[in-house]
Amino acid sequence: MSSTLIRLIEPSDAPALAEMLSRDKQAYARWMPSKPPEFYTPDGQASVIANLLNSHGDGLAWPGVVVSDGTVIGQITLTILRGPFQKAFLGYWVSSLHQGLGHTSRAVGLAVRVAADELGLHRLEAHTQLENHASQAILRKHGFRSWGIAHEHFYADGAWRDEVFWERKLDDADVALCSAPATSC
């Protein structure tokens, strides 16, 4: 089994992310909103990364990449809402070439630990499309519970999609996924 880690995104990740997003554009059309052509270029990803790092500097996000054996294979982001909420929205994807190998599940488990241990958050939330059973299984495995369905909540691939809402309290005793540091397993 390959190791999986997550780390903060870096400007140098732009070419790898652009290559994966461009290659998987059709495969992910059902799950991701449409983007302008420049999004799929290294310059476009450099701009996205700059914005994410600005949000991180403002305490509004923890933008990361998923890494296996030294190679960036996906992205994971916690979009933070402080104040009385102390929560984050979890979003993630892993390249189609690296799916089915446990990387996504390990990355989600690591993000739960980052949210609890490093960010001190109270809860995490996520959304999955109704038909995304693989992602739902990963969230369940990491202690998320579904709490409702939003009908026609998300527009992707030419249609409005229903989404399941998920939540996870982080004061649960079972936050740890492995004995490694919070960003690797």
User: How many CB atoms lie under 10 A from the CB of residue 151?
Assistant: 9
Q: For 95-124, what is each residue's pLDDT tens digit?
A: 989 988 899 999 999 999 999 999 999 999
Q: What is residue 178's predicted lDDT score, i.e. its pLDDT? A: 43
Whether the predicted pLDDT of 185 surpasses 80: no
Q: What is residue 168's predicted lDDT score, i.e. its pLDDT? A: 96
- Name the superfamily (CATH) of residues 5-169: Gcn5-related N-acetyltransferase (GNAT) (3.40.630.30)
Candidates 128, 158, 159; CA nearest to 146 is 128
